[in-house]
């Protein structure tokens, strides 16, 4: 069934879900939701629901996989069977293997793996409900879970997608925009603005591409602020102290 909307942006410049073209979906963050994990985060972003868990650093088995001078990061992105309208087939797929790989690489520049030779840091990102942008939502949750686990990092990683509908660039695609849009460009950045993940589907001109990166980075910076705020609240509540702003 083709449920492609006739128009994605109305005469007032608003999208189908009422957002401005440069507005991200509402996000809520809960930290430390799993008592057995070293770090965890439950994150809702629009209708996406993600649970991230971090275990480690811990000794890597089998030992032949150990790296003598650093820790190995493993990242598993998984969609629960019930996370989409039609049941998602359980087990790894080409898509989930690809997302796991690029997401792991998004964290490698920031995680200080050299501090933990021979160890492994396991990151699990479970998509409980999917509604476009799950890889970026999972990275945002994983970033917080890594911090919650006390893993030394040079900074957080934040991710967001930008796309194109009705010939216009829009930030943080919703499901119809993702399904029927002209382009989809997810990125992840460090707090210094270094891009650690960049993928692209569809077509953009060079000018649009530059503009898209700029717009998307602005979205990522907003997310970084939310991530930091959530972590500050969690740790100041835990320690019962006031943590001053930067
Ligand atoms: P992302 O979730 O990172 O945007 P995609 O662009 O591959 O990744 O997927 C877009 C959306 O399509 C997902 O968020 C999800 O809502 C839906 N989707 C992905 N895989 C499946 C699947 N196997 N079955 C049904 N829907 C899916």
Q: Which of 161, 158, 96, 94 is CA-nearest to residue 127?
A: 96
Determine the distance separating the centroid of ligand 1 and the alpha carbon of 166, expressed in angstroms.
Answer: 21
Q: Is 132 in the pocket of ligand 1 (CB under 6 A)?
A: yes
Percentage with pLDDT > 70 across the chain: 98
Q: Is 130 in the pocket of ligand 1 (CB under 6 A)?
A: yes
CA dihedral 132, 136, 138, 143 (to 10 degrees): -160
Residues in CB range of 97: below 8 A, 6 or more apart: none
- pLDDT reported for residue 1: 54
Q: Considering the domain 27-239 in this protein, what is its CATH number?
A: 3.30.230.70
List the strands of the sheet with 39-45, edge to edge: 27-31, 39-45, 48-59, 119-129, 72-79
Residue with more model confidence, 246 or 34? 34
**Mean pLDDT of the region 108-115:** 98
Give the number of the atom of ligand 1 that is nearest the alpha carbon of residue 130. 16
Best residue for ligand 1 mutational test, from 80, 88, 132 (most atoms within 8 Å of Cβ): 132
Give the number of the atom of ligand 1 that is nearest the alpha carbon of residue 133. 4
pLDDT digits (tens, 9 = 90+) for 143-191: 999 999 999 999 999 999 999 999 999 999 999 999 999 999 999 999 9
pLDDT digits (tens, 9 = 90+) for 214-243: 999 999 999 999 999 999 999 988 887 776
Distinct helix (H) and strand (E) counts, the chain: 4, 10
Q: What ipTM score was computed for the predicted complex, to two decimals?
A: 0.98
Average pLDDT, the chain: 96
Q: How far apart are the first and last CA of the chain?
A: 51
Alpha carbon distance 25, 29 (integer Å)? 13
Alpha carbon distance 150, 191 (integer Å)? 18
**Mean pLDDT of the region 184-202:** 98
**Mean pLDDT of the region 127-154:** 98
**Mean pLDDT of the region 72-77:** 98
Alpha helix positions (H), 83-205: 94-107, 134-148, 175-180
pLDDT digits (tens, 9 = 90+) for 38-55: 999 999 999 999 999 999
- pLDDT reported for residue 85: 93
pLDDT surpassing 70 at residue 246 = no
| Residue 50 · residue 128 · CB < 8 Å | yes
Q: Using CA positions, which residue lies closest to atom 22 of ligand 1?
A: 88
Within 13 Å, how many C-alpha atoms sit on residue 143's CB side?
33
């Amino acid at each position: 069934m083709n449920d492609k909307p006739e128009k994605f942006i109305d005469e007032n410049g608003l999208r189908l879900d009422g957002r401005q073209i440069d507005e991200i979906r509402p996000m809520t963050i809960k930290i430390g939701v799993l008592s057995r994990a070293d770090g965890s985060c439950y994150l809702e972003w629009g209708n996406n629901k993600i649970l991230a868990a971090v275990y480690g650093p811990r000794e890597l088995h089998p030992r032949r996989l150990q790296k003598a001078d650093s820790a190995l990061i493993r990242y598993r992105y998984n969609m629960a069977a019930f996370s989409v309208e039609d049941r998602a087939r359980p087990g790894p797929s080409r898509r989930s293997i690809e997302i796991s790989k690029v997401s792991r690489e998004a964290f490698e520049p920031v995680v200080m793996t050299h501090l933990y030779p021979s160890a492994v840091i396991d990151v699990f990102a479970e998509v409980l409900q999917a509604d476009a942008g799950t890889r970026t939502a999972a990275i945002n949750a994983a970033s917080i879970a890594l911090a919650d686990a006390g893993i030394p990092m040079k900074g957080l990683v934040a991710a967001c997608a930008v796309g194109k509908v009705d010939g216009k660039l829009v930030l943080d695609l919703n499901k119809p925009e993702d399904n029927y849009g002209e382009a989809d460009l997810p990125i992840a950045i460090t707090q210094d603005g270094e891009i650690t993940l960049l993928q692209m589907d569809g077509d953009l001109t060079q000018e649009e591409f530059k503009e898209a990166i700029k717009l998307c980075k602005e979205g990522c910076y907003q997310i970084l602020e939310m991530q930091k705020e959530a972590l500050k609240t969690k740790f100041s509540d835990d320690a019962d102290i006031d943590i001053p702003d930067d």
